[in-house]
Amino acid sequence: METNLFSPVALPYAQDALAPAISAQTIAFHYGKHLQAYINNLNAALPGSGFEGKSIEEIVISAEGGIFNNAGQVLNHTLYFTQFKPAGAESAPEGALAEAIKRDFGSFEAFKAEFQKKGAGLFGSGWVWLAADKEGRLQITQETNAGNPLRRGLKPLLTFDVWEHAYYLDYQNRRPDHLASLWQIVDWSVVAARYEAE
C-alpha cells in the first residue's frame, strides 16, 4: 500500500511577522525543528502501521502510542501555525462565531479570560482549545501532550500551545504573559471558517 507522507504546512506569513508575540527565533525552532521532527517521526512510523493513506485527522482519532503522539502534534501544530496573522491591532471574531462566543461564554472578554486561565492552569505540556460540538456549541478543553478535541468528538477551532518550546525563548517561564500576547495575532477569519465548515 502506498504511504501518504506528510510535510509541514506552509506558513501564511514571514517568520518574523508575529513578533513581538512570537519571535522569529521561536518560529525557527518551533516550526522549523519541532514540527519537522514530529513529521519525520510520523512518516517513519507509517509503513506497515495500517494508517498508510489515511488523513491526519483519521490517524489522530484512532491511533495510539507513538503514531498518535506524532500525528497529534502534526495536526495540532498545523492548526496552530495557520490561525495567526502578522502582528497588529488586536481583532475580535465576527458573525456566527462571535454570536456563539457571546451565547456560550457571556462575552468575548469572558471567553478570553477563561481560555487564558485554562491555558495557564494546564499542568505540564499540552494545548488549550476552543472547540465546537455537533450542534455548534462551544467549549474550552485542556488537552495534555498531543491531545486534540477530535478525540472527544469535537471540532477544533483555536488553540494555544502551552508546551514550553512554544514560548520559552521569548517568555522563559512566564506562560500567562505568552498566552495574553497571542490575542494580538489571532486571525479570527480562519477560526470562523473552521467553525462554519461542514
Q: What are 136's three cell numbers? A: 455548534
Domains and CATH numbers, the chain: 22-198 (3.55.40.20)
pTM beyond 0.85: the answer is yes
Q: What is the DSSP letter of 191?
A: H
Taking only the tens place, the pLDDT of each residue in 17-68 is 999 999 999 999 999 889 999 999 999 999 999 999 999 999 999 999 999 9
Instruction: Output the pLDDT for position 88.
Output: 82
State the average pLDDT for the chain. 93
Helices and strands per DSSP (H, E), number in the chain: 9, 3
The rounded radius of gyration (Å) of the Cα atoms in the chain is: 16
Which residue type is seen at 37?
Answer: A
Give CA separation, 109 vs 24, 41, 64, 92, 122, in Å: 29, 39, 37, 10, 20
What b/e readout covers 124-155, taking b as 16+ CB neighbours within 10 angstroms?
A: eebbbbbbbeeeeebebbebeebbbbbeeebb
Beta strands (DSSP E) in the chain are 126-132, 138-144, 155-161
How far apart CA 154 and CA 130 sit, in angstroms, is 10
Instruction: Output the pLDDT for position 167.
Output: 77
What b/e readout covers 7-36, taking b as 16+ CB neighbours within 10 angstroms?
A: eebeeebebebbbebbbeebbeebbeebbe
Q: 3-state secondary structure string, 18-30?
A: CCCCCCHHHHHHH
Taking only the tens place, the pLDDT of each residue in 20-32 is 999 999 999 999 8
| CA atoms 61, 62, 67, 68: torsion sign | positive
Q: What is the DSSP letter of 129?
A: E
